[in-house]
Amino acid sequence: MLNKYTNLRSFWGDNIIFRNLIGRLSGATTAQGLTAITLLVTARNLGPSMYGQYAGSVNTIWLTSILFNLGLNIWLLREGGAHPKRLPESLSSVLFIKIFLSIIWATLIVVFFPYFTANTINALPGNLIVLSVIIVLFDSLFQTILAALKAVLRNWAVLFLEGGSDVLWLLFTIAIIYSRNIVVENFMVVRSVSIIIGLVFSLIYIWRIIGLRFR
Predicted local distance difference test score (pLDDT) of residue 195: 95
Lowest mean pLDDT among 9-18, 85-94, 100-109, 137-146: 9-18
Residue 12 has pLDDT above 70, yes or no: no
Spatial separation of the C-alpha atoms in residues 42 and 172, rounded to whole Å: 11
In-domain check, residue 13: no
Nearest to 106 by CA among 154, 78, 141: 141
In a domain, 142, yes or no: yes
**Separation CA 124–CA 114 (nearest Å):** 8
Residue 215 in any domain: the answer is no
Q: What's the rounded Cα separation, in Å, for the pair 94 and 140? A: 11
What's the whole-model pTM score? 0.82
pLDDT at 16 over 70: no
Q: Is residue 42 part of a domain?
A: yes
Q: pLDDT-derived band of residue 55, with 50, 70 and 90 as boundaries?
A: confident
Interatomic CA distance for residues 199 and 149, integer angstroms: 13
pLDDT, one tens digit per residue, over 117-134 is 555 545 677 788 889 999
In a domain, 26, yes or no: yes
Q: Which domain holds residue 46?
A: 22-209
Q: pLDDT per residue over 146-182, tens digit each? A: 988 888 878 778 888 988 999 999 999 999 988 887 8
Report the pLDDT averaged over residues 80-99. Answer: 86
Query: What's the one-letter identity of residue 43?
Result: A
Tell whether 166 is covered by a domain: yes
Question: How many domains does one find in the chain?
Answer: 1
Question: What are 60-87's pLDDT values in tens digits?
Answer: 888 888 888 888 888 888 887 778 788 8
For residue 7, being part of any structural domain is answered with: no
- pLDDT score for 133: 92
Distance of CA 116 to the CA centre of its chain: 27
C-alpha–C-alpha distance, residues 22 and 11, integer Å? 13
In a domain, 15, yes or no: no
